[in-house]
Amino acid sequence: MLHVGLVSASRLQSPFILFVLNSLLSFWGLSPPAGCCRFLIHCIASGVRFIAASLCLVIDNFSLNKMKSMKIKVGLIGFGKTGKAVASVILQNQELSLEWVLRQSTLLDHRSVPEFLGFESDEPGLMYSNETIGIEALLDQHPVEVIIDFSSSTGIYTYGQAAADRGIKIISAISHYGEEEIAFIHSLSKITTMFWSPNITLGVNYLMFSAKFLQKIAPGVDIEIIEEHFKQKEGVSGTAVKIANALDIDAAKINSVRAGGIVGKHELIFGFPYQTVRLIHESISREAFGNGAVFVTKNIIGKPIGFYNFEDLLKPYFSTEELN
């Protein structure tokens, strides 16, 4: 916001300025009536104030439009419980702009996302259904720089190729992919920037880093993995499988618990001969996925074409040179 200070009309009405104005009028052969000079000065001051106020408004609007244009334009795939939480976090972030949400149902087609979630926002964010608009048309009519996927394991087939062909960066937060889907996202990484993490929360990825360091210190330690999620979640947690692979543990030995509305909890037990170390990460709100998605978006935007995971983005933050 630009603030401009102006000299008031009373300040302009100094004896010197009145003398100069009277002299000019006399030079031109004019004889102003009493109070005319003060009136003219008042008009000039009012005009200056009006011009300055108009200039401030123009500059403010220009700055606002420039800030909007500098935001990272994001499209969101999926609008379930987690998708809604992610959308709310994006809407509150000043560096991202939620352009649209794509979902299967036509129930909320063309509804404003900020309005639906109860936010006062000037973000465009409208909801679209893949039953009423094709993905190519959506990407061409409402271009974005990044797509964040919180849909399903097969959702990548809906938009993946079209997005990659347009150079749109893809962030997938799908918990579990089959072998065909994994092969497909790796093929997309040859033509665009492709990121995939079974768990996009920052905390669980910090846990994974810590676990790898601990295992390196004590390579023969016994390790057990326990993952807990809400009752409706199907299959073994993709995050737990990723942790098991990182620690060279058989994924079949992962202990899974499904109960109530647990958002997500992962526990690693390191069993030493005379002591036990437990590393625990628990998501207490689905907004944690939104924070992770924002972190990835801001860190992936400048990356070249290729395949990335959370470890690739976190490595610079764990540099030993930085710590020293």
Structural contact between residues 305 and 193, judged by C-beta atoms closer than 8 angstroms: yes
The lowest-confidence range among 61-65, 173-177, 239-243, 265-269 is 61-65
DSSP string computed for 50-61: HHHHHHHHHHHH
> What pLDDT does 267 receive?
97
Cα–Cα distance between 203 and 213 in angstroms, integer? 16
* Superfamily of the domain at 202-285: Dihydrodipicolinate Reductase; domain 2 (3.30.360.10)
Residue whose token pair is 């094709």: 134
DSSP output for 219-234: TT-EEEEEEEE-TT--
Q: Considering the chain, what percentage of its residues have pLDDT values greater than 70? A: 77
* pTM reported for the whole predicted model: 0.71
Instruction: Tell me the average pLDDT of the chain.
Output: 84
Higher pLDDT among residues 175 and 60, named by residue: 175
| pLDDT over threshold 50, residue 115 | yes
Pairwise CA distance, residues 129 & 135, whole Å: 10
Quickly count: other Cβ atoms within 10 Å of residue 234's Cβ: 8
The whole-number pLDDT of residue 21 equals 54
**Mean pLDDT comparison of 7-21, 107-121, 154-168, highest-scoring range:** 154-168
In percent, the amount of the chain with pLDDT more than 90 equals 59
Domain boundaries, the chain: 9-69, 71-200+288-323, 202-285
Q: In what order do the strands lie in the sheet with 222-229?
A: 255-258, 222-229, 264-271, 276-283
Select the highest-mean-pLDDT range: 51-65, 111-125, 183-197: 183-197
Find out whether 133 and 107 touch, Cβ atoms under 8 Å. Answer: no
Q: Give 201 or 6, the one with higher predicted confidence.
A: 201
Cβ(293)–Cβ(173) under 8 Å? Answer: yes
Specify the pLDDT at position 306.
Answer: 98
Contact 72, 96 (CB under 8 A): yes
pLDDT in tens, 44-98: 556 556 565 555 554 555 444 444 568 999 999 999 999 999 999 999 999 999 9
Nearest C-alpha neighbor of 173 from the set 284, 261, 80, 249: 80
Identify the pLDDT of residue 2. 39
pLDDT at 182: 96
For 205-261, write each residue's pLDDT tens digit: 889 988 998 999 998 899 999 999 999 998 898 889 989 999 999 999 999 999 999
- Work out the angle at residue 13's Cα, subtended by the Cα atoms of residues 7 and 16, and round it to the nearest 5 degrees: 110
What lies within 8 Å, CB to CB, of 195 at 6+ separation is 169, 170, 171, 172, 296, 300, 307, 308, 309, 313
Q: What share of the chain is helix, strand, coil (3-state, %, to 5)?
A: 45, 20, 35
* pLDDT above 80: residue 201: yes
**Facing residues of 100 across strands?**
75, 126
Distances (CA, A) of 162 to 87, 145, 193: 22, 13, 13
- Residue 312 pLDDT > 60, yes or no? yes
Position with higher pLDDT, 284 vs 297: 297
Class of domain 71-200+288-323: alpha beta
Contact 170, 190 (CB under 8 A): no
Which range among 5-19, 105-119, 188-202, 204-218 shows the weakest confidence by mean pLDDT? Answer: 5-19
Task: List CB contacts of 286: < 8 A, sequence separation 6 or more.
Answer: 81, 82, 84, 85, 86, 263
pLDDT, average across residues 257-280: 94
**DSSP alpha helices (H): ranges in the chain?**
9-12, 15-27, 36-70, 81-91, 113-117, 135-141, 156-165, 179-188, 202-217, 238-246, 287-300, 310-314, 320-323
CB atoms closer than 10 angstroms to residue 191: 14
**Same fold? 71-200+288-323, 202-285:** no
